[in-house]
Amino acid sequence: MKGGIEFPVYKTKREGLTATYDLSDPAQRKLYFEAKLGPEIKVIKKFLKKKAFVAFLIGKKNTGKGTYSKLFMEVVGNEHVGHLSVGDLVRDVHKMIADERGRAELANFLKDNYRGFNTVDEIFDLIEGRSQEKLMSSELILALIKYEIARRPRQALFIDGFPRALDQVNYTLFLKDILGYKDHPDFLVFIDVPESVIDERIKYRVVCPICKTPRNTRLLATKDVGYDEKSRAFYLMCDNPTCHKARMLPKEGDELGIEPIRARLEADDQVFKQLLNLKGIPKVYLRNTVPVDKASSYVDNYEITPGYEYELEKETGFVKTIEKPWIVKDDNGVPSYSLLPPAVVAGLIARVARLLADIK
Ligand SMILES: [Zn+2]
């Protein structure tokens, strides 16, 4: 239950389909989506030849919004769909105005397109300030989104990071008109990921110091694993051959999991619940978990996120990796499995196809 709404589990299991797919491999993923959602993908592709859409991704920080929209783009083709992250946009603009020409270009755009309470100089000060996004008014964020869209070809959009605060919720209702997408449909995509999942994703994440590839000691292991005698802890070694088994490291503070971002998660949750009450705009509900006792009738085994544990062979020093089901409690305390991103995106594709099929 989320704000009084039960998020349905999307059934990806298909009668008679017994093949298994390695969902980490792009070629296998293509076969997987074709096998499970061939007709739905056709509906979406056909729609995108004539029209676009504006989809708002609504979910807490670290729910994988970027990953889901990128997988959707991979399936239907990214020439017709784009992902617009407001966080990335603010960072890009920050970089852009470091140089004379970029600064002049943005100043010109704002003169014509920004309506609000700040002068262009004040806006540049805000963007160059440290915690920019927080201090930026909704009017400014809107102008920046407009700026970004003006530079892209006309395409369907997944907007990630807007609305971010309660005072942006009302803009959401009219954003497609403001952006010049009046004749295109818009809808909200709610992503429900339990806090326990977000917590472990943060707590166990590690990164290669050389190539920066991210992994997760608990959820996304590498081929080789080592054991540190001093700290009595296992560590992953980067798979990238040019990194020569570099030891992957955690980022300071990540061991605290969601604690440092708790206030942010609560603010995100408030926006989430507020948006659930909006009328007149279609909604798509996605859920990252499936209750353990329902799993076998809803999903295939290979669609479930595995968990990893390690064992040290005393005599040889070799570390053995053991794959075990990863069971988490969802926000209602129900023991659940977390689905791999493609299985969540399968639900997104099915629901978006149904929604677009009704639009002339
Ligand atoms: Zn590496």
- Distance (Å) from CA 132 to ligand 1 centroid: 31
**How far is the C-alpha of 237 from the C-alpha of 208, rounded, in Å?**
8
Cβ-based burial of 192 (10 A; exposed 0-12, middle 13-18, buried ≥19) = buried
Closest by CA to 162, choosing from 285, 57, 261, is 57
191 C-beta neighbours (distance < 10 Å), count? 21
Distance from Cα 238 to the centre of ligand 1, integer Å: 5
What secondary structure does DSSP assign to 56-99, as a single string? EEE--TTS-HHHHHHHHHHHH-TTTEEEEEHHHHHHHHHHHTTS
Rounded to the nearest whole angstrom, what is the distance from the C-alpha of residue 300 to the centroid of ligand 1? 31
Q: Measured in angstroms, how far is the CA atom of residue 228 from the centroid of ligand 1?
A: 19
What's the Cα-to-Cα distance from 171 to each of 17, 166, 204, 255, rounded to whole Å? 44, 10, 37, 37
Distance 250 CA to ligand 1 centre (A): 13
Cis peptide before 163 (omega within 30 of 0): yes
Residue 104 Cα to ligand 1 middle (Å): 39
Tell me, what DSSP letter sits at residue 104? H
Question: How many angstroms does the Cα of residue 242 sit away from the middle of ligand 1?
Answer: 7
What local confidence, expressed as pLDDT, does residue 78 receive? 87
pLDDT, tens digit (0-9, with 9 covering 90-100), for 97-147: 999 999 999 999 999 999 999 899 888 888 887 555 556 888 999 999 999
Span from the CA of 243 to the centroid of ligand 1 (angstroms): 5
Cα dist from 157 to 37, 72, 134, 293, 299, whole Å: 21, 11, 23, 36, 28
- Backbone phi and psi for residue 205, each to the nearest 5 degrees, phi listed first: -80, 145
Q: What tens digit of pLDDT does each residue of 134-153 get?
A: 568 889 999 999 999 998 88
**Residue 130: predicted pLDDT:** 59
Q: How far is the CA of 212 from the centre of ligand 1 (A)?
A: 6
Please work out, in degrees rounded to the nearest 5, the angle formed at the alpha carbon of residue 200 by the alpha carbons of 75 and 23: 25
pTM of the model: 0.90
Report how far ligand 1's centroid is from the alpha carbon of 215 (Å).
10
Looking at residue 125, its pLDDT comes to 87
Q: What is the 304 CA–ligand 1 centroid distance (Å)? A: 26
Residue 103 pLDDT: 94
pLDDT score recorded for residue 4 = 64
CB 79 within 8 A of CB 31: no
- 241 C-alpha to ligand 1 centroid (Å): 8
List Cβ neighbours of 124 (8 Å cut-off, separation of 6 or more): 97, 103, 107
Q: What are phi and psi of 321, to 5 degrees?
A: -100, 130
The token pair at 199 is: 């917590």
Alpha carbon of 111 to ligand 1 centroid (Å): 45
* 314 Cα to the center of ligand 1, angstroms: 27
Instruction: Compute the distance between CA of residue 135 and CA of residue 123 in angstroms, rounded to an integer.
Output: 10
CA of 22 to the centre of ligand 1 (A): 22
> 205 C-alpha vs ligand 1 centroid, how far in Å?
14
Phi-psi region of 280 (alpha: psi -120 to 50; beta: other; left: phi over 0): left
Ligand 1 centroid, distance to 263 Cα (angstroms): 33
Q: Output the CA 210–ligand 1 centroid distance in Å.
A: 5
Output the 3-class SS for 212-232: CCEEECCCECCCEEEEECCCC
What pLDDT is attached to residue 131?
54
Give the DSSP per-residue string, 263-274. Answer: HHHHHHHHHHHH
Q: Is 360 exposed, middle or buried (0-12, 13-18, 19+ CB in 10 A)?
A: exposed
Please provide residue 120's backbone torsions phi and psi, each rounded to the nearest 5 degrees.
Answer: -60, -40
**Of 178, 176, 192, 198, which Cα lies nearest the Cα of 56?**
176
* Parts of the chain belonging to CATH 3.40.50.300: 26-213+252-303+332-357
CA 236 to centroid of ligand 1, rounded, Å: 11
Architecture of the domain made up of 26-213+252-303+332-357: 3-Layer(aba) Sandwich (3.40)
H or E element, residue 113: helix 100-113
What is the predicted pLDDT for the residue at 42? 97
Q: Are 23 and 32 in contact (CB under 8 A)?
A: yes
Distance between Cα 218 and ligand 1 center (Å):
18
Give me ligand 1 centre to Cα 207, in Å: 8
- Taking the centre of ligand 1 as the mean of its atom positions, its distance from the CA of residue 240, in whole angstroms, is 5
Residue 62 has a pLDDT of 86
Place of tokens 């029209």: 51
Q: Which two tokens stand for residue 194?
A: 């339990």
Residue ranges with CB less than 5 Å from ion ligand 1: 208, 210-211, 238, 240, 243
Q: Which two tokens stand for residue 22?
A: 């390695």
* Residue-wise DSSP of 165-219: SGGGHHHHHHHHHHTT-TTS-EEEEEEE--HHHHHHHHHTEEE-TTT--EEETTT
Please identify every stretch of the chain with a pLDDT value under 70, giving residue numbers as ranges.
Answer: 1-4, 130-135, 360
CA of 249 relative to ligand 1 center, distance in Å: 11
